[in-house]
Amino acid sequence: MHTLQTTSLRIRDNALFILDQQALPQEKRWLDASTVEALVGHIHALRVRGAPLIGLSASLLLALLAEQGHSRDALLHALETLRASRPTAVNLMNNLDRMKLALREEGFVAALVTEALRLVEEDKALCDGIARAGSALVKPGSRLLTHCNTGGLATAGVGTALGVIQQAHRQGKVANVWVDETRPLLQGGRLTAWELGELGVPYQLITDSMAASLMAKGLVDAVWVGADRIAANGDVANKIGTYSLAVLAKFHGIPFYVAAPRTTLDPHCPNGEAIPIEQRAAAEVTGAAGSFGAVRWTPPDAQVYNPAFDVTPATLISGWVLDSGIVTPEEVEKGVFAIAR
């Protein structure tokens, strides 16, 4: 396959590399992800993360394995293993469904390569569409609050919610971005802070528990988040902590927007209750690991509950900003997400 480069994916010499999102921003380290075992390990460890990026990395790996001469059966097995690597972000399943169709074709090697590259190009265009539609909602002088990381690191393009913020900043409309640090793995404190810094967007990092008092003081004009899965009734699964922001925004009368590509829609999932929520290791909460070194601050026998995502009910969402435009609560009530796009 020819060379490919996005913010956090790279193909060189028929090998797939991922930018280690656990090492950022301290270190910019590219890791080989050219086997199913390696990529699944990186996905589990969130070295490659973000709903769109997981799906793209899995699709590119399948294309590479096909080019290396793996049989159709072996590729199907690889596809199912990759599909099971993380349960919540439906982009992975949606992308792999398309790869599975390509695998059925007679010339499946070329079909898989074409499809994987098409998915990458499409994702860039989807991000641009979201940024275009979403930035129109941002008012001049806005102080925006965001959670987790939804930027170029998490997609092949400019990102979803962060793409909107970037575009609105280019249009001169962003006064400040409040960046939730996003416990426990600090995607906000490490990744969003890094991306906004690189882009020259003014931001201030806050701990997740500060949002309420900022809103009460009138310092937040809108909340922008991404999504890992949007159910047919408009309920949204996203990084843990998103739901509390939506409740707070509703209480304070602040618009709460979800930005996502069509690959995040799951018309077969009736509502948020049906979205599988990934449970993660206790060690993420009992201390810190990664490039900080391992530190534990809890008693050794501390019991932990650590869901990676929560569900925000559709009733708390002011608008779903897709690549195709803004979807209103009225349209969602009428069932637009129940129809596959």
CA torsion sign for 164, 6, 33, 118 is positive
Q: Does 145 bind ligand MRU (CB under 6 A)?
A: no
The alpha carbon of 103 is separated from its chain's Cα centroid by a whole number of angstroms, namely 26
Is 58 marked as a binding-site residue? no
Q: Does 11 bind ligand MRU (CB under 6 A)?
A: no
Residue of 20, 180, 228, 235 marked active site = 228
**Active site includes 228?**
yes
Query: Nearest approach, Cβ of 330 to ligand MRU (angstroms)?
Result: 25
| Nearest CA-CA partner of 197 in 231, 228, 230, 153 | 153
Burial class, 229, CB count within 10 angstroms (exposed 0-12 / middle 13-18 / buried 19+): buried
Burial class, 5, CB count within 10 angstroms (exposed 0-12 / middle 13-18 / buried 19+): exposed
* DSSP one-letter code for 49: -
Write out the two tokens for 160. Answer: 């979803």
Q: Does 51 bind ligand MRU (CB under 6 A)?
A: yes
Q: Does 228 bind ligand MRU (CB under 6 A)?
A: yes
Q: Is 27 helix (H, G, I), strand (E, B) or coil?
A: coil
Is 86 marked as a binding-site residue? yes
Nearer to ligand MRU, 44 or 252 (CB): 44
Q: Does 230 bind ligand MRU (CB under 6 A)?
A: no
Site size toward ligand MRU (CB under 6 A) is: 19
Segment near ligand MRU (CB under 6 A), from 154-162, 209-217, 291-299, 314-322? 154-162
Write out the two tokens for 283. Answer: 């060690």
Query: Nearest approach, Cβ of 198 to ligand MRU (angstroms)?
Result: 17
**Integer angstrom CA distances of residue 322 from 150, 161, 274, 334:** 14, 10, 22, 17
Q: Does 167 bind ligand MRU (CB under 6 A)?
A: no
Nearer to ligand MRU, 76 or 282 (CB): 282
Q: Does 226 bind ligand MRU (CB under 6 A)?
A: yes
Is 306 marked as a binding-site residue? no
Beta bridge partners of 225: 258
Is 51 marked as a binding-site residue? yes
Residues catalogued as catalytic: 228
**Residue positions in the annotated binding site for substrate?**
49-51, 86, 187, 238-239
| Site residues, ligand MRU (CB under 6 A) | 46, 49-52, 89, 148, 150, 154-155, 159-160, 187, 226-228, 238-239, 308
